[in-house]
A and B are shown apart, each in its own frame.
Chain A
Amino acid sequence: MKKLKQLSAVTVGSLLILAACQEPEQQGGAGEDSDSEGNNGGEEVEEDMPGDVGDADIVLDFWNGFTGPDGDDIARIISDFNEEYEGEIAIRTQTMPWDNFYDQYRTVVANNEAPDIAIMHLDSIAGYAQNDTLTPLDELAADIGLEEDDFIEEVWQAGEYEGSRYAIPLDVHPLALYYNIDLLEEAGYSEPPETYDELVEMSLAVQDSSDAYGIAMPVYWPSNMIFFSSLVSHGGETVSDDGMTALYNSPEGEEALQKMVDLVYEHEVSPSDVQADGEVTLFRQGNSAFHINGIWMITGFEEQDGLNFGSAPMPQFGDEEGVWAGSHNFVLPKQQEEDPERQEAAMEFIRYVSENSIDWARAGQVPAAYSVLEREEFQELEHQYNISQQTFVFPPTSPYYGDTWGPTGPAVDEAMLGQLSPEEALDRAAREGEANAEDAAAAHN
């Protein structure tokens, strides 16, 4: 019977192929080393101008990479903005896959054709700031009354590089735990696990009471984001603040990774060899009780027929709280000739979106501003609210973070396959990462 179910799920699944390549799930990976993983959104660049922008005094270009369903949500906000500011400010949007966005961004800034506003991932900001392609926002932010107190502290701080602010956070997208409510009930549980031990215990119970796996631990992306979370939960650190030294190849790091590996080979609550997106398939099919992935999966799971799922903070793998989180940020690309009027208009737009980011939260994100987080409307968004109840940990703001952290990707893969011990894997990653960073820093100087 289970096999029959699997088979029909495979057929249904193939119909979802097209849907899958448009999901925003890949976007969370941009900036991580494996951002190419699902970069198959096609080459098309959409340009649209919601509302009437014909007679506005100032028309601003806004670039982003929201090619998934989230593109519609941002378009709705922009359309409202254009209506409200009719005749004064109008926003013209260009949406393209993130990879294309970052490729083109370099070129247009160098050629003085930069858009007025753009969205960038938090872990890219330091690098682009260092290369002098972003406008410092300290005064501009103060002018429109955006205040530090109103933002989640960590994400606000992450927009600063060498004492200057370069980004205004739009949202936070952390990892989360998704669970299959039906499978848990069958096993006699009504609440999701909060710790690693509970996760193992409940997974075993699910495997006793059904044919499903407890959890499916991915070999490839996003396995190293799970490692990031496990690492900080064990009290470890990712890389040094200057980005040059790997700190993940520590006893904490080894334990953090070992616990992930143990889920597969020691506790046997996860299948081995879960390939790209394999863990998503199993959870969609109801063949795994637990699933760790980004908040961006909400919409996809909600659209999955017959999947009765809940969401919760990612279980703590160690003793401390902390989970990987990324963030989309507004930036003002560097213009060769700055126009204060346009900058003010751009900041007005950022303030507007920030205040109305409840609409953005509906797309499957946690707003970065407390004024929105504390609103009832947000607390009514069940999944987004549950997932927001975590301690977010962002990567250090260094232009070399990506270089030093990047090699953990392949290293964690090989540890998850049992081909390398956690110690070997992390030492290799650290050696490669530090050489990478050193080379990048030397090239920059």
Chain B
Amino acid sequence: MAITKTGDQPPVYKRNWKEKLTPLLFIGPHLIFFLIFLAYPTIYGFIISFHNWNFFGDMSFVGLQNYANILWNTDSLFFEYFWSAFRATFIFVILSVPPLILIPLFIAIAINARPPGQNFFRALFYAPSLLSVVTVVLIWIWLLDTNAGLVNYYIGTLGLDAIPWLTRTPWVWISLVVMTIWWTIGTNMILFLAGLGEIPDHLYEAAKIDGANKIQQFFHVTLPGLKGPLAFVVVMTTLASFNVMAQPQLATGGGPGYETRVLILYIYDTAFTGGNPRAGLGAAMSVVLGMILLSISLIQFKLMTREK
């Protein structure tokens, strides 16, 4: 008995060992990239945030000074700059996230109803997502030019005054949000379409038999069926909006004044531009922003995937 037992064990042990290792082999390649391009820079960035460093000389340790300057040292210029950049980012998120969820959702529902030309519309709405942000912003700058743009030309033919789309609040925000919506609705639309395809038809049939009208079907079948994709889209869109940079950078340069200088743009300016770059301060702001994003995503996921 004892002999057979010991004779059986090694192969069992071997299989376990192999089974455990195989997944690692699949994860391995990605893990290496993850470690080199994400984990290492993140940890290094965290370390930099406790130092003063201009990329040239040695880093000098300053403890929490960088954090103090943006979080509680209210006399600091960087406190003022950081929170004005935070305000700008927050305005953009608040204005852009709802339309970036709702518009693609309704387009997806419309296309999912299989109207004639549905493939054409699907391609049409997705097409701008293929353009680079530079192209998108340049097109919109031309369209929205205060004195020579197409949009103000049509507004002029209606007998209305020219609108300063890219120089004054609130128009700058509207312009930035509109160009972002035009550029990115395609991606969310595709995600919603995939989600809608997963909802079984028999649920709608059952709802119909129970006498539910279209609106009731939307709230009681479509929305619950989209819970997974919706949570994903809401979180990803919020994160993407917090990370906005290129649109204000190219269209308004962060202006007028500091109005549209969003966080990522300010972090970039701080850490990488000018004769005296402040890598430590930039890193500290990135860490704070990262923490904020992490908390927001966690809260959103908790709220949206909560079982009722």
Contact = CB atoms under 8 A, between A and B. Distances in A.
A164 B229 CA distance: 63
B57 A219 contact: no
A8 B66 CA distance: 52
Given A106-B56, A439-B77, A443-B52, A281 B253 contact: no
A220 B250 contact: no
B255 A413 contact: yes
A273 B250 contact: no
A35 B268 CA distance: 12
B147 A413 contact: no
Contact of A275 (B153, B165, B274): B165
B251 interface: yes
A7 interface: yes
A381 interface: no
B54 interface: yes
Question: For the side of the interface on B, what is the size category?
Answer: 35 or more
Main DSSP-derived SS at the B contact region: loop
Interface string A91-107: 00000000100110011
A285 interface: yes
Interface in A229-279: 271-278
Question: For the side of the interface on A, what is the size category?
Answer: 35 or more
A124 B255 CA distance: 24
Contacts of B268: 36
A216 B147 contact: yes
Contacts, number: 165
A133 interface: yes
B138 A20 contact: yes
Contact of B146 (A128, A274, A411): A274
Contacts of A38: 250
B151 to A, nearest CB: 10
Interface stretch (A75-83, A300-308, A315-323, A397-405): A397-405
B134 A40 contact: yes
Interface string A102-128: 110011011000000000000110111
B154 to A, nearest CB: 10
Interface centre among B57, B145, B149, B268 (most CB of A within 10 A): B145
B55 A399 contact: no
Interface string A406-445: 1001110110010110000000000010011001100110
A102 B276 CA distance: 12
Given A17-B142, A282-B148, A126 B275 contact: yes
A129 B56 CA distance: 11
Interface in B168-201: 168
Contacts of A336: none
Contact of A273 (B57, B135, B142, B146): B146
Nearest to B150: A10
A344 interface: no
Contacts of A406: 274
A220 B276 contact: no
Contacts of B94: none
A133 B253 CA distance: 30
A17 B153 contact: no
Interface in A1-32: 3, 6-7, 9-10, 13-14, 17, 20-21
A132 interface: yes
Nearest to A13: B142
A399 B275 contact: yes
A163 B56 CA distance: 22
Contact of A132 (B56, B76, B77, B141): B56
Contacts of A435: 76-77
Given A6-B148, A278-B146, A440-B276, A220 B252 contact: yes
28 contacts: A10-B148, A14-B142, A17-B139, A36-B268, A106-B56, A106-B277, A123-B275, A127-B275, A127-B276, A128-B275, A131-B56, A132-B57, A220-B252, A271-B146, A272-B146, A273-B166, A273-B168, A275-B165, A276-B166, A276-B250, A278-B148, A281-B148, A400-B276, A401-B275, A409-B253, A410-B257, A414-B257, A443-B54
User: Which 3 A-B residue pairs are closest in the complex by CB-CB distance?
Assistant: A127-B275, A273-B164, A275-B166
